[in-house]
Amino acid sequence: MCQVFLAFVCIIGILAASSPVQHARGIRNFNTNQLIQVTGAHKFVSATAADLRGPCPGLNALANHNYISHDGVVSVLDAILVSLDVFGFGPDTGVVAGILSLYGANLPLLDFSIGNSPGGLRGILGIIFGKGGGLSGTHNQFESDSSATRCDLYEPGCPDNYTPLGDRFGALINLLEQNPDPKANFDVIIQHRVNTFHHSVQNNPFFFYGPVQMLVSCIIHTLIPALMSNHSAEYPKGYLDVDGLSSLYGMNRGRDGQFRYTRNERIPENWFGRPRDDPYVGLTYGLPDLLQMWTKYPETFIIGGNTGEVNSFTPLDITDFTHGVYSAESLLLGNNAACFAFQLVQILTPSILVNLEAILAGLLADVAAVVGEQILALACPTLEAMKLESLNQYPGYKKSAGYGM
């Protein structure tokens, strides 16, 4: 599992539902075979200074337990398969995740760094494709502004935008401690989502909540209870606990009550992952989670950004942006949210991936074709283009030109 590695690409799997609001939740039974091994070959080994670690707690934990290469340079295929097996991500989204992980790839289709650039060129393909910057250089492509635990890209006073911050993680933990009922875990997370949105509005003059960033940042939050919950016979649908979440995020609470990042993300002992027969498939879970968030807190679905000053958030004119196909009022009606999100990915992804080779574009086209066939059942309005120049009113968009849409 990885909030960075998997969040953005969850969109395509989420949108593959032919009637998204009608899907029932899976009936889950607890089984002891859900226990994730953290001994023997998968015992915890701290990362050394030479090991690459980045903005994804899930991938960092997998590397620390040698489920993937301990040095942090991993093949795309390994990252996909292990993430599916350990954290229970659905195969529909996992495969697309592997493709889009190539934002940070050193050798497309071979390996990538889960942190900063590994440096150097690797073989003849390295000469052809160049070296990737790793996942730490992919802000506003996977991780985005108004993150669950990290700084915005241009937030004043922040050291970087990929290291988790103790105070932001602590804010999430405080909400969980105030409402520890496992049945309320998702409500706690979407409240945190609202809080991070308002924090960015109030503290970052360059906060950019563009169309892709809106989707990514919302999905990132929904993945926390979906993939980082422990499970038991009492709570077969999972529960978030402070110690377990702190371990997975590599956070340590000091005597002063403050959390500090240790760079040692660790899968807890006696941690039972999501049942393998009930993975987090976008078809069943993803879109209903997003719709629940957007309906309860509509501000999380408003695209826009600050205009150079804090508290200057200006919504994007959706009617103008979509050439009249949608309006802000119509987005949450019927299947419009699903249609709009799918069309965003379909239309904007090629412009984000302009530097990758044709083979990657072909893979994405194949995925889009499969999903497109299913999305047709939604009877989506025709949207052939988006008015990207409408985004120029946001300084954060223009400053982020090198970091993706």
SS (H, E, C) the chain: CCHHHHHCCHHHHHCCCCCHHHCCCCCCCCCHHHECCCCHHHCCCCCCCCCCCCCCHHHHHHHHCCCCCCCCEEEHHHHHHHHHHHHCECHHHHHHHHHHHHHHEEECCCEEECCCCCCCCCHHHHHHHCCCCCHHHCCCCCCCCCCCCCCCCCCCCCCCCCCCCHHHHHHHHHHHHHCCCHHHHHHHHHHHHHHHHHHHHHHCCCCEECHHHHHHHHHHHHHHHHHCCECCCCCCCCECCHHHHHHHHCEEECCCCCEEECCCCCCCCCCECCCCCCCECHHHHHHHHHHHHHHHCHHHHCCEECCCCCCCCEECCHHHHCCCCCCCCCCCCCCHHHHHHHHHHHHHHHHHCCCCCHHHHHHHHHHHHHHHHHHHHHCCCCCCCCCHHHHHHCHHHHHCHHHCC
Mean pLDDT of the 71-82 span: 79
Residue 109: per-residue pLDDT:
45
Q: What are phi and psi of 149, to 5 degrees?
A: -140, 0
Residue 158: per-residue pLDDT:
87
Q: Tens digit of pLDDT for each residue in 310-325?
A: 999 999 999 999 999 9
Q: Tens digit of pLDDT for each residue in 167-220?
A: 999 999 999 999 999 999 999 999 999 999 999 999 999 999 988 788 878 888
Tell me which residue of 227, 173, 191, 221 sits closest to 36, measured CA to CA.
227
Q: Of 70-79, 121-130, 160-169, 269-278, which gets the smallest average pLDDT?
A: 121-130
Q: What angle do CA 272, 276, 282 make, to 5 degrees?
A: 110
pLDDT at 356 over 60: no
pLDDT at 85 over 90: no
Residue 112: per-residue pLDDT:
72
Which one has a higher pLDDT value, 34 or 136? 34
Maximal CA-CA distance, the chain? 59
pLDDT at 37 over 90: yes
Range list of β-strands (E), 130-264: 208-209, 251-253, 259-261
This prediction's pTM:
0.82
Q: Of 157-161, 332-336, 362-366, which gets the smallest average pLDDT?
A: 362-366
Which one has a higher pLDDT value, 106 or 198? 198
Distance, CA of 69 to CA of 102 (rounded, Å)? 17
Q: Tens digit of pLDDT for each residue in 258-268?
A: 999 998 999 99
pLDDT at 73 over 90: no
Distance, CA of 396 to CA of 207 (rounded, Å)? 6
pLDDT at 4 over 70: no
Q: Of 66-70, 205-209, 250-254, 283-287, which gets the smallest average pLDDT?
A: 283-287
Residue 369: per-residue pLDDT:
52
pLDDT at 355 over 50: no
pLDDT at 160 over 70: yes
Q: Which H or E run contains 113? A: strand 111-113
pLDDT at 142 over 60: no
Residue 118: per-residue pLDDT:
63
- % of the chain residues with pLDDT over 70: 70
pLDDT at 72 over 50: yes
Which one has a higher pLDDT value, 341 or 165? 165
Residue 44: per-residue pLDDT:
98
Q: Tens digit of pLDDT for each residue in 324-349?
A: 999 988 988 888 887 887 777 667 65
Q: What are phi and psi of 261, to 5 degrees?
A: -80, 130
- The pLDDT-based confidence of 143 (bands split at 50, 70, 90) is low
- The pLDDT-based confidence of 1 (bands split at 50, 70, 90) is very low
pLDDT at 154 over 70: yes
Tell me which residue of 216, 272, 227 sits closest to 249, measured CA to CA.
227
Q: What are phi and psi of 211, to 5 degrees?
A: -60, -45
Mean pLDDT of the 147-166 span: 88
Could you tell me which residues are beta bridge partners of residue 402?
A: none
How high does pLDDT run on average in the chain? 77
Q: Are 247 and 266 in contact (CB under 8 A)?
A: yes
Distance, CA of 3 to CA of 56 (rounded, Å)? 6
Q: Tell me the CA end-to-end span of the chain in Å, nearest whole number.
A: 23
